[in-house]
Amino acid sequence: MTDSKNPFEAMIAQYQEMAKAMNPALESFTPKGFETLWPTMPKEVMEMWFGNTLNKDGLDAKTRLLLTLGGLTVLGAQADTQIRTTVRHLKEVGARKQEIVETIGQMSMFAGIPATTRAMELAQEVLADNEESDT
């Protein structure tokens, strides 16, 4: 047998060829476009679900979202959509750019430089879009 692909690679290649045959546009598909379909929740809704509405002495939505961003960074910043969405929601609940950047920077001690850099790039995309919409 001269084929160097393992069975899994061969199966994936076959599926990719099938997808191209059915819809050539799928070759350039990116899930980033789906992010715009999910609206940013209003601050009040986030406080109700993620904040201290049900637990009066608990964490507010901003703190919970900063912790979420830190966790996503420590996990290797592999969840692009989740990081961008979390940063969008952080801006909605009033987090400053400095707080977002510090949260990601703090995780560099645990996640490493590549993950921190990736998380920072993803956050900067959202922050830049946010700055453009503010002007």
| Residue 127 dihedral angles phi and psi, to the nearest 5° | -65, -40
| CATH topology assigned to domain 33-134 | AhpD-like (1.20.1290)
Confidence category of residue 4, pLDDT binned at 50, 70, 90: low
Whether 89 contacts 65, CB under 8 Å: yes
- List, for residues 11-34, the tens digit of each pLDDT value: 888 887 887 788 777 666 666 666
Please state, in angstroms and as integers, the Cα–Cα distance from residue 22 to each residue in 16, 34, 110, following that order: 10, 21, 44
Residue 107 DSSP code = T
**Mean pLDDT throughout 111-128?**
93
- List, for residues 77-89, the tens digit of each pLDDT value: 998 889 999 999 9
Domain boundaries, the chain: 1-30, 33-134
Neighbouring residues of 93: CB distance < 8 A, sequence distance ≥ 6: 43, 46, 47, 60, 61, 62, 65
pLDDT the model gives residue 90: 95
- 15 CA to centre of own chain: 27
Exposed e or buried b for every residue in 55-85, given b needs 16+ CB within 10 A?
eeeeebbbbbbbebbbebbbeebebbebbbb
